[in-house]
Structure 1
Amino acid sequence: MVEDEGIRRYVAHFILWIGIAIVAFPVYIAIVASTQDNALIANGQMSLLPGGHFFEVYYQTIFVGTSGSTREPVGNMMLNSLVMALAIAIGKIAISIISAYAIVYFRFPFRMPIFWIIFITLMLPVEVRIYPTYKIVADLHMLDSYAGLSLPLIASATATLLFRQFFMTVPDELLEASRIDGAGPLRFFWDTLLPLSRTNMAALFVILFILGWNQYLWPLLITTRDDMQTIQVGIRKMITTTDALTEWPIVMATAVLAMLPPVFVVVAMQRLFVRGLVETEK
């Protein structure tokens, strides 16, 4: 039995390493390509070993930009994407947790119909409501602005549902104890529910940050100036119709840089993220 368990463990590890290699190989190719000469890549003669243009390519990518259809430095694109992703993640969590708190702990007319209306919006992705949303943003003169990039994407029925389900598992004794201590609704929310929701907010923050960072269609529609475009839109604009004119080392360096913030967020908040997904004790 012990030998069988050891064999199964080695087989499982071997399969996992194969999966890691499949996922990591394209990332390795992007890193290697970002250090190569553009002529070698365009001619299909790229080496699988890193080249000698690392500092040159990444300096030009971050601070100078390309000579293609977008000349904006990638550093500015990353700043735009970062502001957008943070605004979406923090805004979604703030609005959702307040909405869930009101639905669970307050008794007002049409409370449950309002919740189900919020829940039904899960069936309406951005692509379905993109024209009326664009019309409203344009009428409010929010094109080419951080508000236009983030505000239309802040509402989240998913986060509201998750917070509502979490609040329904909080013991009623905590609410009664807060009332006995003279705490009002805001005090109960701030001192009791928010600390209990810390891991849930962390897990949602990771998911929502990556969601905001990877947005492509909405930033493509809402931005017309190069200085307001996000890194996802910038990558697409760097690729021209003719491969010979595309600066592939800069494109690959931009792709590598686009992966860093989500990876950093996941690694930095890994423990809270896992606890927020699996924790059951309140």
Structure 2
Amino acid sequence: MALKFSKRRRGALLTHLILSVAVLLIASPLLFALIKATQAGAQVVGPSLAVGRHFLDNARVAWEGAGLGQYMVNSAIVAVCVTFGKTVLSLLAALAFVYFRFPLKSLLFAAVLFTLALPTELLVVALFDLVSGGLHWGNSYAAIIVPFLASATGTLLFRQHFMNIPASLSDAARIDGAGPLTFLSRILIPMSWNTIGALAVIQFVSAWDQYLWPLIIMQSEGKQVIQVGLSKLIDTEGQSSWGVVMAGAILAIVPPMVVFTALQEQFSKGFALGQDK
């Protein structure tokens, strides 16, 4: 028994050691940026990894001097609107695909899944022509919110979750006279908070990290998003204050980290075989 316990303990220690090394490797770029954000002057571009005392100064320059505060407000507006819109539309689409009967339903769902194979970069030209020339939304929040409200990932996630819910609940609700929206709001949504939380984390981070499309469609500096704002901190002539750049990058990841930390339990449970526990 003692020998078996010793082997089990050594195995657990080895597993924890491997996981600790893996976490350290994954987190090393963030740790490097955090250290450099505390440095200033020539120390930033040097090999020194000593923690400095200039983080607050660098953060103040990035926040006020470079206007990252306004960029973060803009990104927050976009991310919240996209997350809320995608969640609502995904819930409605999944409700239709699971509980409604209509012609070509399987084919339409396959078409929705096919959009997962189409990266945004492939659609940029056509999307720009539609948004700017057709809808005249150029240089507006609508241009960077509306095109991203539809979500094949969210539709698939909610569809698989709804299919795990017993059909007897739908039949009982129908017998009680509940309509589709009542069934959705009073039964499906309360049973889907973990899935909603998981999708919210994904969509918020994705919307927060938008770069290419806002860079193309948004001309007003006052409405630009944080990722484009960060790129403006980098001087093309190589004279960038890299301590300020790193401090700006650290500030930019705080909101997604807060959202993930707040919803990490829902995020974990939402992907546990598609079942809420």
Q: Distance in 2 between matches of 1:231 and 1:189?
A: 35
Alignment partner of 1:40 out of 39, 43, 66 = 43
Q: Distance in 2 between matches of 1:31 and 1:158?
A: 33
Name the structure 1 match of 2:52.
51
Shift in Å, 1:269? 0.7
Name the structure 2 match of 1:14.
17
Name the structure 2 match of 1:88.
82
Name the structure 2 match of 1:193.
188
Query: Could you say what the CA RMSD is over the residues aligned between the two structures, in angstroms?
Result: 1.7
- Using the aligned pairs only, state the percent identity: 39
Is the alpha carbon distance of 1:241 and 1:54 closer, same or farther for their aligned partners in structure 2, counting shifts above 3 Å? same
Name the structure 1 match of 2:158.
163
Name the stretch that deviates more: 250-259 or 77-86.
Answer: 77-86
Structure 1 residues not aligned, in runs of 5+: 66-72
- Alignment check: 8 A CA contact 1:93 1:205 kept: yes
Q: Does 1:127 align with 2:130?
A: no
Name the structure 2 match of 1:262.
256
Is the alpha carbon distance of 1:127 and 1:155 closer, same or farther for their aligned partners in structure 2, counting shifts above 3 Å? same
- Alignment check: 8 A CA contact 2:59 2:247 kept: yes
Alignment partner of 1:249 out of 223, 243, 253 = 243
Q: Does 1:76 align with 2:70?
A: yes
Q: How many residues align?
A: 272
Shift in Å, 1:108? 2.2
Q: What's the CA shift string for 1:228-282, capped at 9, x where partnerless? A: 2222112222212333x11211101111011111111111111111111116368
- Alignment check: 8 A CA contact 1:206 1:265 kept: yes
Q: Distance in 2 between matches of 1:207 and 1:58?
A: 27
Structure 2 residues not aligned, in runs of 5+: none
- Alignment check: 8 A CA contact 1:33 1:46 kept: no
Alignment partner of 2:8 out of 5, 9, 19 = 5
Name the structure 2 match of 1:62.
63
| Secondary structure, counterpart of 2:120 in structure 1 | coil
Q: Distance in 1 between matches of 2:220 and 2:152?
A: 31
Deviant stretches of 4+, over 6 Å: none
- Alignment check: 8 A CA contact 2:39 2:51 kept: yes
Is the alpha carbon distance of 1:25 and 1:124 closer, same or farther for their aligned partners in structure 2, counting shifts above 3 Å? closer
- Alignment check: 8 A CA contact 2:269 2:276 kept: no
Q: Distance in 2 between matches of 1:195 and 1:75?
A: 36
**TM-score normalised by L of structure 2:** 0.92
**TM-score normalised by L of structure 1:** 0.90
Q: What's the CA shift string for 1:165-224, capped at 9, x where partnerless? A: 221221111112112222122211111111111111111111111111112211111122
Q: Distance in 1 between matches of 2:113 and 2:47?
A: 50
